[in-house]
């Protein structure tokens, strides 16, 4: 191959390798997974990933240098967000490829999620029909700020740390389906375990908002009082 041709290929693949170097640490992959939920401050990302603030900041800076995330200062806080929706698409594709290639992922997942039946894949129309008909109650057990950024239409916002106090509000004659950030988020499995212990029929939805955005499914955006678990289709008293 001629020198100009070789130089051209070397230059292209060097740029592609920047992505590989940016995601060559498990903590940075976790940060991308979190940012698929929506923008977050450095403090929020550090807390949700159980990382020291300095470590989270360092990893975020490396992702920023690779142009995978953007940062903007709001007052005393720095808020990070994905550079665009293609970054989340990339993360989901990378995660799915790893699942197909590495049996270790399946083994670890099955051990942790033993006996927790999961709805692994989503047929958007079918699931929405089940929610609309009242056949199932869909619980978003992520923190409220993540729910507000994007959630399944009709899902109730019941963060995991409020679940115990909200059990009296949940119907016992319907199946409760809990979801969180995706297949490796532990919030939904813990929610299902607590619901079953309280006598509810509960299963988890393995996918999360990042998966649904990648599939082109439209998510609902907006806040709802955390102490009102009723579906957004139903008006609050006085509305």
Active site residues: 180
Dist. CA 215–CA 137, nearest whole Å:
22
Nearest to 204, CA basis, from 185, 227, 231: 185
Q: Give every strand in the sheet of 40-41, ordered side by side.
A: 40-41, 77-82, 69-74
Whether 229 and 157 have beta carbons less than 8 Å apart is answered as yes
Half-sphere exposure of 126 (CA within 13 A, CB side): 4
Dist. CA 180–CA 79, nearest whole Å:
21
| CB neighbourhood size of 219 (10 A) | 13
| CB neighbourhood size of 92 (10 A) | 21
3-state secondary structure of 155: coil
Residue 237, CA distances (Å) to 35, 230, 234 in order:
34, 11, 9
| CB neighbourhood size of 176 (10 A) | 23
């Amino acid at each position: 191959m001629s020198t100009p041709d070789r130089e051209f290929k070397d230059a292209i693949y060097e740029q592609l390798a920047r992505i590989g170097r940016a995601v060559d640490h498990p903590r940075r992959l976790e940060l991308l997974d979190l940012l698929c939920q929506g923008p977050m401050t450095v403090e929020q990302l550090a807390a949700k990933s159980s990382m020291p603030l300095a470590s989270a900041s360092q990893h975020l800076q490396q992702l920023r240098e690779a142009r995978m995330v953007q940062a903007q200062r709001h007052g005393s806080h720095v808020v990070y967000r994905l550079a665009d929706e293609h970054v989340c698409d990339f993360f989901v594709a990378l995660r799915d490829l790893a699942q197909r290639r590495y049996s270790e992922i399946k083994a670890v997942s099955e051990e942790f999620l033993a006996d927790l039946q999961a709805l692994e894949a989503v047929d958007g129309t079918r699931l929405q029909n089940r929610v609309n008909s009242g056949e199932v109650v869909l619980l978003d057990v992520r923190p409220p700020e993540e729910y507000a950024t994007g959630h399944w239409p009709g899902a109730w916002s019941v963060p995991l740390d409020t679940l115990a106090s909200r059990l009296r509000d949940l119907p016992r004659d319907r199946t409760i389906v809990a979801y969180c950030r995706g297949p490796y988020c532990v919030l939904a499995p813990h929610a299902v375990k607590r619901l079953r212990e309280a006598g509810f029929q509960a299963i988890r939805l393995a996918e999360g908002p990042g998966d649904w955005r990648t599939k082109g499914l439209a998510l609902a955006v907006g806040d709802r009082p955390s102490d009102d678990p009723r579906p957004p289709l139903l008006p609050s008293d006085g509305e």
